[in-house]
Amino acid sequence: MKTPISSRGIATRAVHAGERLPREDFVPMSTPIYSSASFLYDRLEEIDAISAGTRTGFTYGRHHNPTNAALEQAVASLEGGGAACTYASGMSAILLGLLAAGVEQGTRVAASQDLYGVTMKFLLDVAVRWGVEVEFVDLFDAAAVDRLFGDRPPRALLLESLSNPLLRIPDLPLLLSGCRERGVRTVLDNTFATPLLLRPLELGADFVVHSATKYLGGHGDLTGGVLVFRTEFEQEVRHFSRLVGAVLGPFEAWLTLRGLKTLPLRLERQCQNAEEIAGWLAQHPRVERVIYPALRDHPDHERCKKLFAGGRAGSVVTLMLRGAAMADVFRFINALELFLKATSLGDLQSLVLYPAISSHRDLAPKHRERLGIPDNLVRLSMGIEDTEDLKADLAQALEK
């Protein structure tokens, strides 16, 4: 009997899961791009059976696609179980996660106050308009968490496994178990950690979000999102997915599936670069502070060692330039040569981003300050380049 792929190691699953699904007379080594809006059958009864759910198959591109199905199977395998749906972006995945979690008019959503800025704007500008009550919570304040689980628990909790850009790691076992005890659905963005460092479903999360644009694709050549969920929610997720229609194109699905195969290798090198460069930057006189969970002075260092595979902390390193105003930050970033100026992360190329004008641009300066994101804060995303070359690039820019 063949060993099922689901019982293999995670690097093996990254290469093989979702691929070579059975066909009648052949099996392609690499999943093809099924660029078709609809799928044909000899008899109407077959389409009827697929629509009724009594047999598997594909009928219409807004409902499902074989290329996307292969990617969904692969990501679910990496996350350790459940099922998955693919979408046009990570924000679409958040929307569908909240809908499937039962968020509707009159319900209450609790959200981490450390969420990605655009996610905050979505809650305030879209969810509130639908009649959803939104409350932002400091998940690192024990009293605030106690109030969260008080007499009127929310319908859903939206949080991140590793926050942007301060890289905070909440007490996920405590929060997720508390939510399950009180019937609170959890939607957890795991983009920064990836399933190689953390698998939230195994800790009790209901829905896990990935921006496939980042690590899963890994090459800066696609935009996409994935929602992984417990199988008990599959009917709800697929129902709303068909209605909303935020589908991922089959070409982008194929690119993401291809990117998954090198994710373990890329992330291992990215984490190595990040840890070494974070330690080096912490000793530089031009740097006021380095934020990276693998460093001992990070407030969640012990939690990182406990929760994340191998104690690795991902590829993102955040630093504050000593005494720098916005013009000084511009000068530093413009002097970088290998770190590309881009509003993304997780690519095999090293990237640099200035949160004050990008990810958190829509937040007022005083709000950013309250969140711990001053004007001298810069976010680096390490690629797979030679470590010494990245250090040299940072060194010359810091001297400008």
In the structure, what pLDDT confidence band is assigned to residue 357 with cuts at 50, 70 and 90?
confident
Look up the pTM and report it: 0.91
Catalytic residue among 13, 185, 199, 214: 214
Q: What is the pLDDT of residue 362?
A: 65
Task: Choose between 5 and 94: higher pLDDT.
Answer: 94
Catalytic residue among 13, 34, 87, 116: 116
Q: Return d(Cα 339, Cα 350) in angstroms, integer.
A: 5
Q: Return d(Cα 267, Cα 346) in angstroms, integer.
A: 8
Cβ distance 218 to 259 under 8 Å? yes
Domains and CATH numbers, the chain: 5-260 (3.40.640.10), 263-398 (3.90.1150.10)
- Active-site residue, 354 included: no
Q: Which of 172, 188, 195 is nearest to 9 (CA)?
A: 195
- Active-site residue, 42 included: no
Whether the link from the prior residue into 165 is cis, omega within 30° of 0, is: yes
Residue 205: burial class (beta carbons within 10 Å; 0-12, 13-18, 19+): buried
Q: In this structure, are strands 133-137 and 108-112 parallel, antiparallel, or unpaired?
A: parallel
- Active-site residue, 214 included: yes
- Active-site residue, 116 included: yes
Cβ partners under 8 Å of residue 323, min gap 6: 288, 376
In the structure, what pLDDT confidence band is assigned to residue 137 with cuts at 50, 70 and 90?
very high
Catalytic residue among 8, 41, 60, 62: 62
Q: Return d(Cα 60, Cα 113) in angstroms, integer.
A: 39
Q: What is the pLDDT of residues 35-78, one digit of tens each?
A: 999 998 989 999 999 999 899 999 999 999 999 999 999 999 99
